[in-house]
Amino acid sequence: MIRKPAWLRVRLSDTIKYNSVNEIIKSHKLTTVCEEANCPNRVDCYSKRTATFMILGNQCTRNCRFCNITQGVLEEADLLEPYRVAMAVKDLGLKHAVITSVTRDDLQDQGASLFVSTINAIKISSDTTILEVLIPDMQYDTHAIDMVMDAKPAVINHNVETVPRLYSEVRPEADYQRSLDVLRYIKKRDSNIVTKSGLMLGLGESIDEVKAVISDLKAAGIDCLTIGQYLQPSPDHYKMVAYITPEVFDALGAYAKSIGIRGVASAPLVRSSYYAKDLYEQMLSSIGDNQG
């Protein structure tokens, strides 16, 4: 077993605020990806009064080997869930809210209608909140993607997760090119929507492979990129090959910026929605600097 390095040790934050956020989430009977994915940052995020809400249940139709969210009995879409999410966003006073979901290949609209209802409900109750959605590939169903886009979230994120060579082992039911197509389609259809993607390192990829993916994402038109360390959730999940040093993350982040990706977060503890507000503002600031 590889010993966890010092740079991955998470310092405890304000536990009082953490408990407060946890109570609000539980009171509205909601699921967060923070808990389901066993995210190492959840104490930090909760203490800053932020969370990533996960809609459409907690069972997935796919079985990615890196993910702590598992297959199981699929729940029917809860039509009241969007309103409970909206109330939690309001109670937490969130300036930037992130909504994600499990993959629901079983649903005719891929779950798009519940994303739309959630976005609309938050806009009504918290009209100044910046909305970010982290969507599955929706099987590249452009009608479903259009539904989400037409609800006008500020940011649409879709993660490619790893390099194409590892897809058959790490996420066999996904397709690298399809994920790029989703991102490219969104940016081409509405350039005002900020597009975002994310990568995990430590699965056995090479630096050159990672740079090639970053270049592919730039070609697909993404505005923001997150790169973080893969942490194996259990012995049954895909084996972590290596801990990647902060220096490598810094170099890859610098490379992404050098080819024109405006908002970049690259560090061992970075996750796709970690400090999402800060990354969004970094991207906007970059645009302002270039225009100035």
Looking at the chain, the whole-number percentage of residues with pLDDT higher than 90 is 54
Amino acid, single-letter form, for residue 5: P
Which of 289, 233, 232, 282 minimizes the C-alpha distance to 253?
Answer: 282
Q: What is the DSSP letter of 50?
A: -
Q: Which fold has domain 12-291?
A: TIM Barrel (3.20.20)
Token duo for residue 201: 């390192």
Q: What is the mean pLDDT of each run of 10 residues along the chain (292 residues)?
A: 70 58 71 54 55 79 62 79 92 89 88 96 95 95 98 97 94 93 98 96 97 98 96 84 96 98 94 83 76 52
Q: What is the DSSP letter of 193?
A: S
pLDDT per residue as tens digits for the range 137-161: 999 999 999 999 999 999 999 999 9
Q: What is the pTM of this model?
A: 0.88
| Number of Cβ atoms within 10 Å of the Cβ of 191 | 11
Residue 178 CB burial class (10 angstroms; 0-12, 13-18, ≥19) = middle
Q: What angle do CA 196, 202, 208 make, to 5 degrees?
A: 70
Domain segments of the chain as ranges: 12-291
The CA distance from 201 to 161, in Å, is 9
